[in-house]
Amino acid sequence: MTWIEPAEALEKCTQFVRKSLQDAGREALVVGLSGGIDSAVAAAVAVRAIGADKVFGIMMPYRTSSAASLTDAEAVATSLAMAVDKVEITVMADAFISSLDRPDRMRQSNIRQGNIMARCRMIVLYDRSARNEALVLGTGNRTESLLGYTTLYGDNACAFNPLGQLYKTEVRTLAAHLKLPQAVQEKAPSADLWEGQSDEDELGLTYAVADRLLVALVDEGLAPRQLQALGFDADLLAKIEHRVKTMAFKRALPPVCTFAERKEPAGVAQGYAEVGREGGFH
């Protein structure tokens, strides 16, 4: 498998943040600090790129959020010497959740509530970005993006994302390279959307397995026969291939009906290929 070396990744991501801010005519960033490894690494890259005084962290707990999430987010902010604020989303999320019909299936209920919470958090981030004249920093990784494990207009909404083409495995390596708090590096991946929620349980496989398969399937372009020779189960291959294909809409801007007479202004970005955050759903 071909992994990007952490020093190379850090340098490229840092330059990307600086250039993206410069192109947008802004100087500051806001980032949601979940206590997870992806947001921690994104924040660390931003601090390295523009300085801790221009990166504002926001913790956005819900009433069922783990206390460890706040502790770990605060530890990240302290280690980076960046400002951090806490905005509870319970009242705003529950105001809508209380109006939902109650589906028979618990999973469907969890997914709907998780989506609401993710989108409430993005409301907070964009409001704070307006207040601070800043941009919202994306924190999602390539694994989640390819698998569609992200909430549209929720955790995948951002101005730009330095980690979008790094697999979860590479983000972990980068976290170690940056010497981020050990508790953050070692914790089980979770969007913390309900008690006991686990990303890998939701996905049905570990990130380590997913990353090896996605690199071989997407980046190296190996055929099913070659992938099976590497030890990947045929059913798993079919499942992942289907998921990558059907979740492509989450990795693109909404399509529009085009007309030959209509041109885009020079310099208008066409969107980022991989945008997202840890966790999330549809």
pLDDT in tens, 182-214: 999 998 887 776 666 777 887 888 999 999 999
Report the distance separating Cα 46 and Cα 57, nearest Å: 11
pLDDT in tens, 161-172: 999 999 999 999
Report the distance separating Cα 96 and Cα 155, nearest Å: 18
Contact, 49 vs 28, CB < 8 A?
no
Residue 247, pLDDT score: 96
Least Cα distance to 174 among 52, 2, 7 occurs for: 7
Alpha helices, DSSP H only, in 132-274? Answer: 142-147, 168-177, 182-186, 199-203, 207-214, 224-229, 234-246
CB-based contacts of 277, cutoff 8 Å, min separation 6: 32, 34, 38, 39, 138, 139, 140, 144, 150, 155, 156, 158
Report the distance separating Cα 168 and Cα 228, nearest Å: 22
Greater confidence, 195 or 6? Answer: 6
Least Cα distance to 160 among 37, 255, 34, 31 occurs for: 31
Report the distance separating Cα 36 and Cα 76, nearest Å: 9
Parse the chain into domains and list their residue ranges: 6-199
Domain 6-199 has CATH 3.40.50.620: yes
- Element housing 75 (H / E): helix 67-80
pLDDT in tens, 223-277: 999 999 999 999 999 999 999 999 999 999 898 999 999 988 876 554 443 333 3
Contact, 83 vs 250, CB < 8 A?
no
Greater confidence, 15 or 197? Answer: 15
Crossing angle (nearest 10°) for helices 37-50 and 67-80: 20
Q: How are strands ordered across the β-sheet holding 83-86?
A: 83-86, 55-59, 29-32, 135-136
